[in-house]
Amino acid sequence: MATKVYDQVDNWNEVLLVYRSALKEVNTKLEILNDEFQHVHRYNPIEHIKSRIKTSESIVKKLKRKGVESTIENMIEYVDDIAGIRIICSFTSDIYQIAEMLANQSDINVLSIKDYIKNPKASGYKSYHMLITVPIFLSDKTVETKVEIQIRTVAMDFWASLEHKIHYKFEGNAPDHIKAELIECARMVSDLDDRMMAVNEEVQALSK
């Protein structure tokens, strides 16, 4: 019977073991899907994959912002991105294909979706977020473990990387002219993604 992580895990090392295993599990699924896509369509939708475990310092800061005590149970209950995977694609259409393929996996449970591509943040940020659980089969139990997945194009990732650096440089209070420039860059990135996808679709149509 599957259990939540904090029902069966009572120390930080066990938490890390479970979340690292969840990253391995999802990474393997993505590699298989990418290989299958290459076999069927002769095309790889995934450019590359980044994964990470959130540091204990970042987790504690997040719990403080939420106003809850720093316990293992609260970490697992209130921090959804302890295990995070970022999938980088070539085209916007790839994002939705990958999200659908993941959601269709029988052992993946999709908890929530935030589509910042159709509904960008005010800053201009665009990405597709999925919060899922995946079962981790240990020797004596099965643990349902949360993983946050972000899917974006190369251009979106480039923009988000710069925005992240600026956010921390100015501690979230960047000058207005820099914020305005970032919004304009986000528009350019969106236009570039649309144009590149249109070119790719035309190439695919002509090749047929």
In the chain, count H helices and then E strands: 7, 6
Q: What sign does the dihedral 171-71-151-43 (CA atoms) show?
A: positive
Q: Give the active site residue among 148, 181, 184, 202.
A: 148
Q: Is 128 helix (H, G, I), strand (E, B) or coil?
A: strand
Q: Nearest CA to 54 among 75, 26, 31? A: 75
Three-state DSSP state, 12:
helix
Of the CA atoms within 13 Å of residue 198, those in its CB half-sphere come to 6
Q: What CA–CA distance (Å, rounded) separates 76 from 5?
A: 7
C-alpha–C-alpha distance, residues 29 and 152, integer Å: 18
Q: Check if 163 is active-site.
A: no
Residues belonging to the active site: 148
